[in-house]
């Protein structure tokens, strides 16, 4: 299984004004900056509010031709950075690294994209950058409001966008955890690549399900949000 990056120390940071901020759900925000750099869809940036606090990593959620560089995050009330990030306003100066990372899509193979929570961010970047749509995009969330950017996904992946919701019922939603959805899935294309993004817990559980179904280790590519 390929995994993403961990090292965040010694990242070079650049003062960058926040251009806009949007609250997608309570304590879940998109921050928009002016895109200054080229990047590969799936890459991350390091962000902090000050040089005193080690930056945290965030997947770029926007497309590589979009005017803005966007990140999606949820506030962790016990965290050091996200409560502060959630209070930022346009024109405030944040510290950003250049884009880096290797959670990039192999366009030559069919793929499944599997995300939990804010782990949906890199997949939005894939699609907005014009990369081929997946066989399925499977997104796990607790509530109806957890399916960030769902209008875009419904439009671009009309028949392969699967929302797995654990706490609420809704039209066209799978009721339950994405891991149950995968366990019950009988027509998975086992020779595809599987891109996983989210918590370590989700990634490990999904990886084990896929391996048990006969997917090989090399076909599972993961970005873990520590
Ligand atoms: C490659 C990568 C990409 C990521 N992309 C995203 C993304 O797109 N969106 C997103 O929302 N998140 C993403 N993350 C996670 C993000 O980097 C942060 O970890 C997250 O936002 C929390 O930051 P924080 O500063 O608020 O919390 P932190 O201060 O880092 O704390 C996180 C948790 O650890 C606990 N903790 C902290 N220090 C200690 C300690 N010493 N002992 C015990 N517990 C401790 C805290 O109580 C808290 O619950 C990504 C992570 C990685 C590695």
Domain boundaries, the chain: 8-96, 111-224
Q: How confident is the model at residue 4 (pLDDT cuts 50, 70, 90)?
A: very low
Instruction: Tell me how far the alpha carbon of residue 133 lies from the centroid of ligand 1, in angstroms.
Output: 29
Residue of 29, 71, 78 to test ligand 1 pocket, by largest number of atoms within 8 Å of CB? 78
Ligand 1, atom 51: closest residue by C-alpha: 225
Residue 210 has pLDDT above 60, yes or no: yes
Quick count: other Cβ atoms within 10 Å of Cβ 126? 25
- Strands across the sheet with 2-3, in order? 2-3, 220-224, 193-198, 111-116, 136-141, 161-165, 174-175
Q: What's the pLDDT at 114?
A: 98
- Going by C-alpha positions, the residue among 179, 181, 124, 128 that lies closest to residue 147 is 124
CATH value of 111-224 in 1.10.600.10, 3.40.50.80, 3.40.50.300, 3.40.1010.20 = 3.40.50.80
Q: How confident is the model at residue 12 (pLDDT cuts 50, 70, 90)?
A: very high
* Lowest mean pLDDT, pick from 7-16, 25-34, 65-74, 113-122: 7-16
8-96, what's its fold?
A: Elongation Factor Tu (Ef-tu); domain 3 (2.40.30)
Q: How confident is the model at residue 8 (pLDDT cuts 50, 70, 90)?
A: low
CA pair distance 10, 141, nearest whole angstrom:
33
Ligand 1, atom 27: closest residue by C-alpha: 79
CA pair distance 226, 224, nearest whole angstrom:
6
Instruction: Tell me how far the alpha carbon of residue 7 lies from the centroid of ligand 1, in angstroms.
Output: 13
Instruction: Tell me how far the alpha carbon of residue 226 lies from the centroid of ligand 1, in angstroms.
Output: 6
CA atoms within 13 A on the CB side of 196: 27
Query: Using alpha carbons only, what angle is made at residue 178 by residues 63 and 198, rounded to the nearest 5 degrees?
Result: 45
Contacts of 187 (CB under 8 A, 6+ apart): none
Nearest atom (ligand 1) to Cα of 4: 1
Q: pTM score, two decimals?
A: 0.95
Token pair belonging to 62: 């926007």
Chain segment 128-168, per-residue pLDDT in tens: 999 999 999 999 999 999 999 999 999 999 899 999 999 99
Q: What's the pLDDT at 137?
A: 98
Instruction: Tell me how far the alpha carbon of residue 56 lies from the centroid of ligand 1, in angstroms.
Output: 7
27 exposed, middle or buried (CB, 10 Å; 0-12, 13-18, 19+)? middle
Q: What's the pLDDT at 10?
A: 82
User: Quick one: average pLDDT of 62-90?
Assistant: 98
Instruction: Tell me how far the alpha carbon of residue 186 lies from the centroid of ligand 1, in angstroms.
Output: 35
Is the CB–ligand 1 distance for residue 79 below 6 Å?
yes
Q: What's the pLDDT at 1?
A: 60
């Amino acid at each position: 299984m390929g995994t993403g990056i961990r090292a965040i120390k010694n990242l070079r940071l650049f003062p960058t004004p926040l251009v806009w901020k949007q609250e997608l759900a309570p304590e879940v925000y998109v921050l928009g900056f002016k895109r200054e750099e080229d990047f590969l869809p799936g890459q991350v940036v390091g962000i902090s509010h000050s040089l005193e606090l080690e930056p945290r990593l965030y997947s770029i959620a926007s497309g590589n031709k979009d005017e803005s560089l966007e990140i999606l995050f949820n506030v962790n009330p016990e965290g050091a950075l996200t409560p502060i990030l959630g209070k930022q306003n346009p024109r405030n100066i944040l510290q950003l690294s250049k884009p880096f990372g290797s959670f990039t899509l192999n366009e030559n193979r069919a793929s499944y994209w599997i995300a939990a929570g804010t782990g949906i961010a890199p997949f939005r970047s894939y699609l907005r950058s014009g990369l081929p749509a997946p066989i399925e995009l499977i997104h796990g969330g607790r509530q109806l409001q957890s399916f960030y950017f769902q209008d875009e996904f419904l439009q671009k992946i009309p028949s392969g966008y699967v929302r797995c919701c654990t706490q609420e019922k809704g039209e066209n939603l799978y009721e339950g955890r994405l891991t149950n959805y995968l366990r019950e899935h009988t027509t998975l294309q086992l020779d595809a690549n599987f891109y996983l993004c989210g918590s370590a817990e989700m990634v490990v559980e999904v990886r084990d399900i896929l391996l048990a179904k006969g997917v090989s280790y090399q076909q599972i590519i993961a970005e873990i949000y520590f």
